[in-house]
């Protein structure tokens, strides 16, 4: 292998490392401005990638490392909760990385093709690189339904920059980051006499945009208080015997009742939120109904409770079970239920069951869940509340539908204990914060073991609980009736980038001006 080709692999490795460092739990978000630069350089410079095939390989290698370093928590889930041996869990993580890294490979293929179009050969191909990157992120969200840690989330703490998301969604921020990386990559590809000037433009642009993290969050006025319960229940409880069930419910209800007592003085009925829970809180269980009705009546509160919704069938084994959020009125009456629509593959259902029967151990506690079919909005004191559950929070185009349906407040209930202690809880939390920004809504986030927080429409965690403790958060919030451009028009920008990418490829291929690979 020629030395220059070996350097190409090192640059791909460097890009993967910088992408990993740009996200939690290391929080080196400023590295996002340079994380794609080595990858762009290696894909465009013929010394490192003389063929399109090598572009694909280098990008794929970068993607495998990126997913391994960012989604390493998959190993924890498979080993601890799937009961797989360490070697098998590690193998499943590798397969996961090999699969999802195909999107990096796709980006390498697209940029490789455009690079070899004579009209955009070499450095000029960087003009379309940001659009290609966003188009691939959009594909990741819709084809495999795993838009985890899109590039734009790396700037979640940048108040001025995140204003872009109210128009374009998170994809606009991804585009801005990729654009700065393109300018820096251009500096490496130009002749030496022009290199310094372009590099200076890129560096100054990165500094100017990153300086937004120094801007403090403005005051977030709120006129309501909700109570968010953090249950801190074990994920894999061996036995929920009746005595243990009643003891646990008594403790949780007492904690909620005590905390809400002071809040309701000279105030309308407060709102109490229980998270998505690992406990067997079936809506068909009379014990569960009794405890929830008693809590609502004693606290004079509206309740939104994470539960397992049951639609009875002709036989008990034919009943449909949903991951649900239940609305209960202060009178103790059950008002409405939202059933989770976007389920977690291999966690709440097993796709292609005949091929992946080994993964059924991940769903053995409750069996395979059913999908909801309607994003209904709860009505509380003439206000609309949209409740999305756990995994649904990573899909921007799905969450915005609650706002379109009249939700003036978002509630996210989740159980992030599955992920373990590192990386994923913070990553997931940042994605929820972006949903608040995109739609201009407060988000009340109640989780089993953290991160439980009240999030302002600017994405600020106004109040937050420490993880792994059983306690209650008095969470400020307000109802917001206005809608953002993004709420009204959705992922128009990402689709525009996809159209630009398709047109570029169409012209490249049909014009016959693509240079040989």
DSSP state at residue 48:
T
The answer to whether 318 is a known catalytic residue is no
The verdict on 362 and 339 lying in the same domain is yes
By residue range, what is the domain housing residue 289? 224-477
pLDDT along the chain (517 residues), means of 10: 73 94 80 95 86 93 94 85 85 93 95 74 80 96 90 95 97 97 90 84 93 92 93 80 90 85 60 92 92 92 94 72 94 93 77 54 61 92 94 94 96 89 88 97 95 96 95 95 95 96 83 55
* CATH number reported for the structural domain that contains residue 248 in this entry: 3.60.110.10
pLDDT at 406: 94
pLDDT at 461: 96
- Given the residues 55, 390, 497, 508, select the one marked as catalytic: 390
pTM beyond 0.85 = yes
- Given the residues 62, 227, 340, 392, select the one marked as catalytic: 340
The answer to whether 340 is a known catalytic residue is yes
The verdict on 200 and 230 lying in the same domain is no
Is residue 485, in this structure, part of any structural domain at all? no
For residue 389, which phi and psi values (nearest 5 degrees)? Answer: -115, 120
Is residue 516, in this structure, part of any structural domain at all? no
pLDDT at 397: 94
The verdict on 253 and 208 lying in the same domain is no
The verdict on 498 and 463 lying in the same domain is no
Residue matched to tokens 């594909």: 139
The verdict on 304 and 444 lying in the same domain is yes
pLDDT at 74: 87
Mode of pairing for the β-strands spanning 378-380 and 334-339: unpaired
Is residue 259, in this structure, part of any structural domain at all? yes
The verdict on 202 and 255 lying in the same domain is no
The verdict on 465 and 506 lying in the same domain is no
The verdict on 79 and 116 lying in the same domain is yes
150 near 171, Cβ under 8 Å? yes
Is residue 482, in this structure, part of any structural domain at all? no
The verdict on 134 and 282 lying in the same domain is no
The verdict on 254 and 375 lying in the same domain is yes
Overall number of domains in the chain: 2
317 near 337, Cβ under 8 Å? no
How distant, in Å, are the alpha carbons of 121, 190, 201 from that of 195? Answer: 18, 6, 10
Is residue 500, in this structure, part of any structural domain at all? yes
The answer to whether 408 is a known catalytic residue is no
pLDDT at 432: 97
- Given the residues 137, 210, 276, 480, select the one marked as catalytic: 276
The verdict on 204 and 239 lying in the same domain is no
The verdict on 211 and 230 lying in the same domain is no
């Amino acid at each position: 292998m020629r030395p220059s080709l070996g350097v190409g692999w090192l640059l791909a490795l460097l890009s993967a490392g910088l992408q990993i460092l740009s996200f939690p739990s290391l929080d080196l978000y400023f590295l996002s401005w340079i994380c794609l630069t080595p990858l762009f350089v290696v894909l465009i410079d013929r010394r490192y990638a003389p063929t399109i095939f090598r572009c694909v390989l280098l990008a794929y290698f970068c993607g495998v490392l990126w997913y391994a370093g960012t989604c390493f928590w998959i190993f924890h889930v498979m080993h601890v909760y799937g009961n797989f041996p360490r070697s098998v869990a590690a193998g499943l993580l590798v397969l996961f990385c090999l699969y999802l890294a195909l999107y990096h490979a796709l980006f390498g293929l697209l940029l490789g093709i455009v690079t070899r179009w004579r009209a955009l050969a070499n450095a000029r191909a960087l003009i379309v690189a940001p659009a290609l990157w966003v188009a691939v992120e959009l594909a990741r969200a819709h084809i495999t339904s795993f838009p985890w840690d899109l590039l734009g989330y790396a700037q979640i703490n940048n108040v001025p920059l995140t204003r872009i998301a109210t128009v374009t969604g998170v994809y606009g921020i991804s585009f801005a980051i990729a654009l700065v990386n393109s300018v820096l990559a251009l500096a490496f590809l130009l002749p030496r006499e022009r290199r310094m000037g372009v590099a200076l433009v890129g560096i100054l642009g990165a500094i100017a945009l990153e300086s937004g993290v120094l801007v403090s969050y403005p005051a977030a006025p709120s006129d309501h208080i909700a109570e968010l319960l953090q249950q801190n229940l074990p994920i894999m409880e061996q036995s929920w015997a009746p005595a243990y069930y009643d003891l646990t419910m008594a403790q949780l209800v007492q904690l909620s009742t005590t905390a809400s007592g002071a809040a309701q003085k000279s105030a309308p009925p407060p709102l109490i939120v229980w998270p998505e829970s690992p406990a067997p809180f079936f809506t068909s269980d009379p014990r569960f109904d009794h405890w929830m009705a008693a809590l609502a009546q004693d606290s004079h509160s509206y309740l939104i409770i994470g539960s397992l919704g049951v639609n009875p069938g002709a036989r008990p084994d034919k009943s449909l079970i949903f991951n649900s959020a239940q609305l209960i009125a202060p009178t103790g009456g059950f008002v409405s239920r939202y059933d989770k629509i976007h389920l977690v593959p291999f966690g709440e259902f097993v796709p292609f069951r005949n091929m992946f029967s080994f993964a059924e151990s991940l769903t053995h506690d409750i069996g395979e869940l059913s999908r909801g079919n309607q994003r209904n909005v709860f009505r509380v004191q003439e206000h609309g509340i949209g409740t999305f559950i756990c995994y649904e929070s990573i899909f921007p185009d799905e969450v915005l539908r609650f706002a379109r349906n009249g939700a003036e407040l978002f509630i996210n209930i989740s159980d992030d204990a599955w992920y373990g202690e590192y990386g994923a809880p913070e990553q997931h939390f940042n994605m929820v914060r972006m949903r608040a920004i995109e739609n201009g809504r407060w988000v009340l986030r109640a989780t089993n073991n953290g991160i439980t927080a009240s999030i302002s429409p600017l994405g600020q965690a106004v109040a937050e609980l420490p993880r792994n403790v059983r306690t209650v958060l008095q969470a400020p919030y307000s109802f917001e009736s206005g809608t953002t451009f993004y709420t009204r028009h959705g992922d128009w920008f990402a689709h525009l980038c996809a159209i630009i990418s398709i047109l570029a490829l169409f012209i490249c291929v049909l014009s016959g001006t693509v240079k040989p690979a």
